[in-house]
Amino acid sequence: MFDNLEGKKIPQVTFHTRDNHEWVDITTDEIFKGKTVVVFSLPGAFTPTCSSTHVPRYNQLTPTLKQHGVDEVVCISVNDAFVMNEWRREQKADNVTFIPDGNGDFSRGMGMLVPKNDIGFGDRSWRYSMLVKDGVIEKMFIEPDEPGDPFEVSDADTMLGYIAADAVAPLDVTVFSREGCPYCVRAKGMLHDAGIEFEELVLNRDFSESTIRAVSATSSVPQVFINGDCIGGSEALENYLAKNLQKAA
């Protein structure tokens, strides 16, 4: 069973980071003093749950968290600075600060360093998240002490729900497009104008015609998906935005 450290100060350690090919030492005071910081810690860079869900959702929700008083969102893992920097680039997680806890000093001080020798990891951090205000832990979400790598409470949505229960999370939007398609340009322009971020997948680069037929029953583009629903092409998107933006107003 892991101790909940709410109300206590975070451990004082120095992180050895890399910036522009130079070693830069950063203390916990530099990260936390006088700030409101969300921290999520996980077992390892490039691992499945961490890469597919944990980091991407925190990266997506960081602007919303900042709208509700958070100064910085920090990802900590027992990996070296080179690995953490490369992982951040691979994840395109520009909203999150990646901190290498290479020696496990911070994780050990948190009481969250656990042996993962059975899978060849050595000592790694248990998965958890916390809200830290001026170096004092206000709230911790610790994954249950169960075999494997549980992922139930340290997610970004749970943290956002604690900080701002009424906050509206950003939409999950994907645009299937084709190079040179004017309707695709129009659809993307409408999303930009509405301030809605989206992921773009391009025909014959990121997907084939059989893929778009499989997910939307048509091969025409653009096809816009919002929160798992197929909205359709540019005209359908225009109608959707007109209807839903009016409701939001």
pLDDT tier at 142, thresholds 50, 70, 90: very high
Rounded CA separation 125/115 (Å): 9
- Asked if residue 58 has pLDDT above 70, the reply is yes
Per the model's pLDDT, the better-predicted residue between 246 and 152 turns out to be 152
pTM of the model: 0.86
Under CATH, which number does the domain 173-248 receive? Answer: 3.40.30.10
pLDDT tier at 82, thresholds 50, 70, 90: very high
Q: How far is CA 167 from CA 68, 106, 161, 242, in A?
A: 8, 31, 7, 22
pLDDT tier at 246, thresholds 50, 70, 90: low
For the chain, the 3-state helix, strand and coil shares in percent, each to the nearest 5, are: 35, 25, 40
- Asked if residue 144 has pLDDT above 60, the reply is yes
Reading across the β-sheet that carries 173-177, which strands appear in turn? 199-202, 173-177, 223-226, 229-232
- Average pLDDT of the segment spanning 162-181: 94
- What fold, for 14-163? Glutaredoxin (3.40.30)
Is the distance from CB of 1 to CB of 145 less than 8 angstroms? Answer: yes
Say whether 50 is catalytic: yes
- Average pLDDT of the segment spanning 51-56: 95
pLDDT at 249: 45
Every domain of the chain with CATH number 3.40.30.10 lies at: 14-163, 173-248
Q: Phi/psi at 218 (nearest 5 deg)?
A: -150, 155
